[in-house]
Structure 1
Amino acid sequence: MAGIRFQGVSKRFGAVTAVDSVDLEIHDGEFFALLGP
């Protein structure tokens, strides 16, 4: 069972696409870290 689920996530900065249609699933009991600027 997914604790957190993201589907089709996109991020744009003007004309620049930084992230395009990302899917992510983090299950109960898993540890996840996302580092960025």
Structure 2
Amino acid sequence: MDIKIQNLTKKYGSTKAVDDISFEVKTGEIVGFLGPNGAGKSTTMKMITNYLLADGGDIMFD
């Protein structure tokens, strides 16, 4: 299953937790999700798994 993320955004009030990110993961790929504390890693994963709703952008599964 491919996952395609386009222009994903999440805000908490006036703070942007995730700001316009895009990436694609193809079937069979193994990826790492790295960044400093507060970079939006957990928020992004919660949006991909539908635990949180995105404020903008698209999450597509194929």
Partner in structure 1 of residue 29 of structure 2 = 30
- Per the TM alignment, residue 33 of structure 1 is displaced from its structure 2 partner at its CA by 5.4
Give 1 or 2: higher strand fraction.
1
% identity of equivalent residues? 28
Unaligned runs of 5+ in 1: none
Give structure 1 regions of 4+ aligned residues with deviation exceeding 4 angstroms: none
Paired with 1:11 and 1:22, the residues of 2 have a C-alpha distance of: 10
Aligned residues: 36
SS at match of 1:36: helix
Paired with 1:29 and 1:18, the residues of 2 have a C-alpha distance of: 29
Q: TM-score scaled to structure 2, two decimals?
A: 0.46
Equivalences for 1:1-37 in 2 at 5 Å?
A: 3-32=2-31, 34=33, 36=42
Give 1 or 2: higher helix fraction.
2
Unaligned runs of 5+ in 2: 34-40, 44-62
Paired with 1:17 and 1:25, the residues of 2 have a C-alpha distance of: 21
Partner in structure 1 of residue 51 of structure 2 = none
Q: TM-score scaled to structure 1, two decimals?
A: 0.70
